[in-house]
Structure 1
């Protein structure tokens, strides 16, 4: 195979195939064409990303070897803010599904989260969400509210999972085989997907609240206790979506 006589388009077609021979990659490294080197760089980066994602499916592959195919990842967003709800999401992905840049939502820039969010909604087998509002949080406490949201999200899935992977929080009453993983949103693709769904949808909700209560800046801080948010609370007092059981609002 004489790659130097091939067009860039023909080489790109070869690189789209699986199991590329190492000799082909070596030959491409000697090709002086800038367009070919750009193709090679893109291919190399894509292979690195596929390898990273393969490792992110470590738990899912282990369960697949046991004959388990429907694995739900579960995570929540909004445990720490002073305002707004807590949202949990449960996601079942096709095991090994390639979603570039999939990761813990906290490690992603907002624009990237939005892109990955769209890919997850397109590729997931099932997605479920649960929202627990601030009044319920004040009544039963944030920890219990977060757990309730997770239970609701799991049982709301359109496909009953055979295994559930949970980010840290133990759900001892869950009647489905489950595993809690510390920092699971950076160790499991399914939990990472759930973390993105929960985070993005909560952010969207807080952006809507910003239109209703613009003086607090919810679109910027999403309800977290930033300096500007605290200053707004001191100036205007709490609004209906603030959590009365959280300090400094409780003392106000």
Structure 2
């Protein structure tokens, strides 16, 4: 993990991250409530909260949220964006050392950041901060790689021009890993359709929000931008492309 600099690699991409990264479907929140009894009065520890996209999902549903985020630029962006929510606070912490009190979280929320965490130290810390009747929800938007020419072309573009794309992409967990990670406390999983409709400028911003997209000045940046333009022009419908995801969520506790 250390060679990927997980707590630093998004510092120069914050504005693109805020503007162009997808949110999460409200069906995920409905499932947590209907299938697992998560109520609006459960305090949420949103670990690896980034710029606050996942925190906003729970704030809008009435939860009190403590966002744990080690990257100062991303944490500041979350504080600025969500300043109007009086039930929102942030703290400088990591998955292995959140700084939160024992048994303080009704729900531990981890969105896109989970694949950066060290599994064993994270589980130890989550066990400490989770109350006895609480739950952990791990979820992320998994970009679809096939099905339509745009998605297949975008994957090819990342493989050709991305800096460490393969190393990052291979870090996403599968169902078997998540079941082992939760152990006997595993409670279930669900998948939801999700998508963004993006014009070219939005698509460019979405690409540049990714830590493996080479920045201006890198030898691969201009060729990547040219290839993105060609791909967009070939696939756009009424000036937009569909950037499609499967949103995966895993729920459990520690027993």
Do they superpose with TM above 0.5? no
TM (normalized to structure 1)?
0.30
Q: Which has the higher helix share?
A: 1
TM (normalized to structure 2)?
0.29
Larger radius of gyration: 1
